[in-house]
């Protein structure tokens, strides 16, 4: 059976969504997903960074063979935020998640540069939500990736339908950006994988979407088995420290 690694799902509870790790594990087992990269839900991304980081780290320690954890940090926290990000990465988290639309900055704003410098220091991949104007757009990530060519970025949702047409031009000339399939239509996924088969990675964004449904859309969009294997696991395994 083809290996599957989900590059983005969320855990915790807030006003808009909730998902316990046990429920996510059941969905992973039902859909034959080997590992999932988890980030805390929005309230932790926006405000309660340390609490979210500790929660995710605890979950990853409890199920080390199933989960990899994203650290979160708001760039508005300045030096305190840099210290918290370093603490979280030293606590075992293996990537960093940003949603600039809820954190209150545009992706290409240099306010985030000190935190990206920490990511470069620790050599961890960085996931940015995209698809929300005017704070989180594909070309904004292109400009940030140009400033930090040593960091590997994941373009969350690849523009999420409304801006999916910008996803491919945004990665041309940017070898350090991967394209996440979550929340995209099968036709968009097909176009991404046909043009950039070595840059597309599978994500579900659960519980915003259903894991099984996101797998189905990828399988409907990509018929070539070699490309499908790259999307489901091969491309992300190249950058993860497992």
Q: Which residues pair with 39 in a beta bridge?
A: 10
Query: 186 exposed, middle or buried (CB, 10 Å; 0-12, 13-18, 19+)?
Result: middle
pLDDT the model gives residue 17: 87
Alpha helices in 18-66 (DSSP H): 21-30, 42-46, 49-62
Phi and psi at residue 8, in whole multiples of 5°? -160, 115
Q: What is the mean pLDDT of the chain?
A: 97
SS3 state at 52: helix
Query: 173 exposed, middle or buried (CB, 10 Å; 0-12, 13-18, 19+)?
Result: exposed
- With a threshold of 0.95, does the pTM exceed it? yes
What digits encode the pLDDT tens for the residues 47-78?
999 999 999 999 999 999 999 999 999 999 99
SS3 state at 24: helix
What digits encode the pLDDT tens for the residues 165-188?
999 999 999 999 999 999 999 999
Strand 153-156 and strand 67-72: pairing? unpaired
pLDDT the model gives residue 155: 98
* Domains, in order of start, for the chain: 5-237 (3.20.20.140)
Q: Which residues pair with 70 in a beta bridge?
A: 95
pLDDT the model gives residue 86: 98
SS3 state at 64: coil
Of residues 239, 219, 240, 242, the one with CA closest to residue 2: 219
Report CA-CA distances (Å) from 91 to 88, 111, 154, 160: 5, 25, 22, 32
pLDDT the model gives residue 161: 82
């Amino acid at each position: 059976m083809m290996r599957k690694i989900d590059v983005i799902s969320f855990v915790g509870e807030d006003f808009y969504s909730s998902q316990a790790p046990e429920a996510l594990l059941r969905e992973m087992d039902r859909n034959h997903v080997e590992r999932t990269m988890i980030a805390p839900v929005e309230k932790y991304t926006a405000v309660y960074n340390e609490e979210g980081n500790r929660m995710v780290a605890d979950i990853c320690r409890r199920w080390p063979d199933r989960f990899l954890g994203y650290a979160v940090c708001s760039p508005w926290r300045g030096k305190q935020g840099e210290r918290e990000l370093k603490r979280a990465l030293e606590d075992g988290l293996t990537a960093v998640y940003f949603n600039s639309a809820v954190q209150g900055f545009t992706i290409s704003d240099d306010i985030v540069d000190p935190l990206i410098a920490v990511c470069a220091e620790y050599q961890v991949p960085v996931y940015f939500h995209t698809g929300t104007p005017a704070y989180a757009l594909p070309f904004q990530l292109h400009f940030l990736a140009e400033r930090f060519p040593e960091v590997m970025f994941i373009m969350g949702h690849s523009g999420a339908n409304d801006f999916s047409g910008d996803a491919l031009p945004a990665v041309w000339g940017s070898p350090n950006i991967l394209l996440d399939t979550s929340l995209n239509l099968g036709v968009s996924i097909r176009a991404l994988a046909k043009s950039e088969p070595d840059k597309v990675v599978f994500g579900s964004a659960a519980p915003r979407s259903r894991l099984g449904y996101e797998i189905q859309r990828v399988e409907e969009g990509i018929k070539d088995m070699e490309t499908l294997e790259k999307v489901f696991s091969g491309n992300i395994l190249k950058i993860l420290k497992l």
